[in-house]
Structure 1
C-alpha cells in the first residue's frame, strides 16, 4: 500500500509497474531456468516490506510446482524459494552496499521442498511462515545458515502431529550459486527431519545424515523432499544406517566444537603517548564501551524470555 501511495503522490499512472530490482531479477532468472513454464508462480509477499518497517525480512517467497523425476525416484513436490536474505535492491535500504565480488547481503536465500499430496491443487503456505522465522533469526543474530547446519525446532514444522520436528540445512539440488549485480547468492534448502535424525547430526555431523537421507527415497531422496507424513526415521528405514552413524561418531567424532562470533576493533592513536605525569596516557573510552554493551545485552535477555528460535548449531569449520 505504501508503494501505491508513493506512486499516486508522484502522479504516476496506476497501471505503471516499477522495474524489477536488479538483484531480484537475477534470482528470478535463475528460477526461470528451472521452471521455464512457470513465469508467474504463486507468491507469498510481505504486506509491508521490511525496509518500510514491516516485520517480515523476506519480501517474497515463490512457490513452484515441481514434477519430480521418475528415474531418480523424486516425487512431485512444491518448491519454495525466498527473496530477501540477499541484496535485492543494491541501494542500502536493507543490506550494506558491497561490490560484486563479495556475497550479496547474507549471501544466500532459503528454499524448501514439500511433497505434494495427490489431492493438492495449490501449495500450502505454512512453509512461508517457517522460512520467515528462519530469516528473522538470521537478521537479528547476524548468523548465516550453511549446508550441514541443524535447527532444533521441537515441534512439527506444520504444527500438526507429524514426527518431522527439526531441520537440517542442505545445498539446493537444482539451484546453484547465482551471480547477481550485488554479489553471488547461494541457495540453502530447509530439510525436515525426525528427532532421531537430529540426534545423529548432533553426535556425528549434518552432512553425514544428509547423505543417508539422500539415498532413501522415502526419507527425502536425492533432492531431499520433506514429507510431513513420514512416520519412520532413517534408522528404522535402513538397519545399516545405525552402524554407519556409530562408525562415523567413532572415527570422526562430532563437529559441534565451534562457535560463531562477530569481532570488531578500533585503533587508539594516543595509546602510547606519554601523559602529563610521564606515564602512558589512558586511551579515550568509547561511547559504546564493552561493559555498556554487555549490560544492555543482559538487560534485553532478562526481558526476552521467549527466543525467536531454538539454538542453531553450526559446523566446526565455521568461525
Structure 2
C-alpha cells in the first residue's frame, strides 16, 4: 500500500487548507530522518503559505502532532495529540522564502510536546526566557496560543483535531495573561495584531491605554484564570527539629516569578479561587480560608490564607533575594532566590534578584 493511500490525516489537513488557499502550492519543509529513528526534528513537515490578508504574512502549518498515517493510538476520539500548530509571521516585501528561525521554533515546540507530553490548547502560554527569534532585537520573549482564525476544528479518519495558533508576545503581555487571561489580552489588542500575526518589531500591546485599561478592568472584575503555574525554582524545606523547638519550614521560589505569584495570589485567592504552584519535586496549593495555616501530605503542601494574609504575603513577594515571614502564618518562612537566565548554550545572560 502506498504512503499516499495511508496518509489520511495528512490529506485531511491539506483539504482544510485548500478551502483557504485554493490551489496555492505552499513551500513545504519535510524531515529527512524520522524522529523515531534518531532524527533531530520531531515534526514530519511544515508548510508555509503566502497570505495577503489582512496584511502580507507567512502562514505556517505543522504536520506531526496529529496522526498523519494509519491510526495507532488507542484513543479513538482524537488524532494524536489532537492538534496541529499554526504560526502567522509578517512577510516582508522582498521575502521569497520564510525565515528559517520560524521553522526551527515550530520544531522546538514539537520537541517540547514529544518530550514532556504536555499539549497546547487555546488560552495557554509559554515563557521562552529570551527572544523567540534568537539574536534579534525584539520584545517578544514568550508565546501565547489561541485558535487559528481561518482553520476550524475538524474530524479526520484518525479522530478530531484543531489548529492552535502560536502568537509571539512580550514579557509584560505574558504577565497580563497570567494575572488575567490569555484570550482576553489577545482580544483586547486585536487591532494591533490582526489575525494574531506575529511582528518581531512591534511594541507591547500594553503601551496602548485602551488595552492597559481592558487588562486592569479584567483583573479587577474577573481575577486570574491561571489556576496552575509551573515554577522552576520551587522547593519546600522541612524545618529541622532542635532541642526545644522545630525551626520554620521554608518555601523557596525564584526572583523571576515572585512578582507574578504576588499578583496571582490576589487575582485568585481574593476571588475565592485556588492557586497551585507546581515545581520539579514540589506542589504548593494556596487556598482562601478564614483560618491561616498549612498542611503537609506526600502529594502537596496546602497553605490557607485569609484576605489580610494574602495582602501581607503579596507585598513581600518582590524580585529581590531575601527571606521573610508573615505575621499570621506560624511555622513557615519564605525565601526568594536569585534567578539566573541562561541562553541555549547554558551561559548566564541575566540575573534577577
Match of 2:67 among 56, 62, 87: 87
Q: What residue number does 1:37 align with?
A: 23
TM-score relative to the length of structure 1: 0.68
Q: Distance in 2 between matches of 1:78 and 1:18?
A: 26
Kindly indicate whether residue 87 of structure 2 is the aligned counterpart of residue 112 of structure 1: yes
For residues 146-197 of structure 1, what are the alpha-carbon distances to aligned partners after superposition, in whole Å with 9 as ceiling and x for unaligned?
Answer: 1111111122211111111111101001011121100011000010111111
2:186 and 2:210 map into 1 onto residues whose CA distance is: 15
Q: Secondary structure at 1:25's aligned position in 2?
A: helix
The Cα of 1:36 is off from its aligned counterpart by 0.9
Deviation of residue 240 (structure 1)?
Answer: 2.0
Give the whole-Å Cα distance in 1 for the aligned partners of 2:184 and 2:100: 30
Residue deviations 1:185-220 (CA, integer Å, cap 9, x gap): 100001011111111111111011111121x2xx31
- Out of 103, 107, 116, the position equivalent to 1:132 is 107
Specify which structure has the higher proportion of strand: 2
Per-residue deviation, residues 80-119 of structure 1 (Å, max 9, x unmatched): 0000000111253xxx2442xx010000000000011112
Deviation at 1:17, TM superposition (A): 7.5
* Greater Cα offset, 56-65 or 125-134: 125-134
Distance in 2 between the 1:249 and 1:17 partners? Answer: 51
Find 1:66's aligned residue among 45, 48, 51: 51
For 1:112 and 1:75, the matched residues in 2 are separated by 14
Following the alignment from structure 2 to structure 1, what is the Cα–Cα distance between the partners of residues 22 and 37?
Answer: 32
Gapped regions of structure 2 (runs ≥ 5): 231-280, 282-341, 345-353
| Deviation of the 1:20 alpha carbon | 5.8
Aligned twin of 2:189: 213
SS of residue matched to 1:169: strand
Structure 1's consecutive aligned runs of 4 or more residues displaced over 6 angstroms after TM superposition are none
Q: 2:196 & 2:139 partners in 1: Cα distance?
A: 16
- The equivalent residue for 1:141 is 116
Q: Please state if 1:170 is matched with 2:146.
A: yes
**Unaligned 5+ residue runs, structure 1?**
1-11, 69-73, 261-293, 295-305, 309-319
Question: 2:121, 2:91 → 1: CA distance?
Answer: 26
Given that residues 189 and 211 in structure 2 are in contact (C-alpha distance below 8 angstroms), is that contact kept between their aligned partners in structure 1? Answer: no
Is contact 2:6-2:70 (8 Å) kept?
no
Partner deviation per Cα, 1:239-295 (whole Å, 9 max, x = no partner): 1222221111111111111379xxxxxxxxxxxxxxxxxxxxxxxxxxxxxxxxx9x
1:227 matched residue in structure 2: 199
Mapped partners of 1:246, 1:130: distance in 2? 31
Distance, in Å, in 1 between the alignment partners of 2:58 and 2:225 is: 32
CA RMSD of aligned residues (A): 2.4
Partner of 1:21: 7
Counterpart secondary structure, 1:30:
helix
Secondary structure of the structure 2 residue equivalent to 1:226: coil
- The equivalent residue for 1:252 is 222
Q: Taking structure 2 as the reference length, what is the TM-score of the superposition? A: 0.62
- What's the CA shift for 1:125? 2.2
C-alpha distance in structure 2 between counterparts of 1:18 and 1:200, whole Å = 45
1:37 Cα offset (Å): 2.7
What are the Cα deviations for residues 52-103 of structure 1, in whole angstroms up to 9, with x where unaligned? 33232210100000011xxxxx2110000000000111253xxx2442xx01
> In the aligned structure 1, how far is the partner of 2:97 from the partner of 2:114?
30
Partner of 1:197: 173
